[in-house]
Amino acid sequence: MIGFIHSFQSLGTIDGPGVRFVVFFQGCPLRCGCCHNPDTWEMQGGTAFTSEEVLEKVLRCRSYFGKEGGITLSGGEPLLQAAFAKELFTLCKEAGIHTCLDTSGCVWNEDVEALLEVTDLVLLDIKYTNEEDYRRYVGCSMEQPLRFLAELNKRHIPTTLRQVIIPPLNDGEDNILRLKQIALAHPCVNKIELLPFRKICESKYENMGIPFPFAKYDSPAKEKMSALQDLLDAE
């Protein structure tokens, strides 16, 4: 089976536990205002690989994985190529490699369902906690990631929720408390990660000749991020 890949990162440390081999898939149906990889949006921009070719690259880095590391599929949106992702993860599982899926949870079909059967961990982006912001800044309904989370919970797949904090859109206490409630309602969630919004992607937009929608927003202060984390951690 052929998959279309944007790029690889051989020694990733922020895309799941331990040291990871990260596969960035080409293609994404969303147009998030804070997207750092606009060059992954269109499927035709990727390079074709077989699952065996990707596995070969993963195996070269296996000695660095340790007990916690493995492979992470990111993007773009890997769920757009779920059948290929499932084939790749199956090969990885057969080789004893931990599998992690980094996704927006915006797609659900039979191929995605099959993919979850060989997925050890999911990093799920819950970008906002209300329908209006999802529609306006992401381009889909909030019901889609919540349905995906419900499916993860039903299958008892360990899940880390992630949210990029973008002042003033989602840095309020109400948003963090809603995110916390979403996690508490789904026992599969083992952790919530709050990530500060950064604008290091602006050059990509400039090179592509398109405006960066969130150029007007600033990164959150360290003190703000600490306060929001304290709110999450409070009993």
Mean local confidence (pLDDT), 200-229? 95
pLDDT at 45: 86
* DSSP letter string, 84-129: HHHHHHHHHHHTT-EEEEEE-----SHHHHHHHTT-SEEEEE---S
Mean local confidence (pLDDT), 31-56? 95
pLDDT in tens, 146-174: 999 999 999 999 999 999 999 999 999 99
Mean local confidence (pLDDT), 73-81? 97
Confidence of residue 203 (pLDDT cuts 50, 70, 90): very high
Q: What distance in Å separates the CA atoms of residue 22 and residue 36, rounded to the nearest whole number?
A: 16
pTM for this structure? 0.96
What is the CATH classification number for the domain harbouring 123?
3.20.20.70
Q: Half-sphere exposure (CA, 13 Å, Cβ side) for 176?
A: 22
Structural domain that includes position 114: 2-233
Q: What distance in Å separates the CA atoms of residue 92 and residue 212, rounded to the nearest whole number?
A: 36
Please provide residue 160's backbone torsions phi and psi, each rounded to the nearest 5 degrees: -110, 125
Question: Would you tell me the crossing angle of helices 222-233 and 173-184 to the nearest 10 degrees?
Answer: 40
pLDDT at 235 over 80: no
Buried b (16+ CB within 10 A) or exposed e, 158-191: ebbbbbbbbeebbbeeebbebbbebbeebebbee
Domain count along the chain: 1
Angle at CA of residue 156, ends 153 and 160, nearest 5°: 70
Pairing of strands 47-50, 2-12: antiparallel
Portion of the chain with pLDDT greater than 70, in percent: 100
pLDDT in tens, 185-197: 999 999 999 999 9
pLDDT in tens, 108-139: 999 999 999 999 999 999 999 999 999 999 99
Closest among 139, 191, 181, 153 to 34, alpha carbons compared: 139
Closest among 158, 146, 81 to 112, alpha carbons compared: 81
Pairing of strands 47-50, 189-196: unpaired
- Computed over every residue of the chain, the mean pLDDT equals 96
Confidence of residue 4 (pLDDT cuts 50, 70, 90): very high
pLDDT at 81: 98
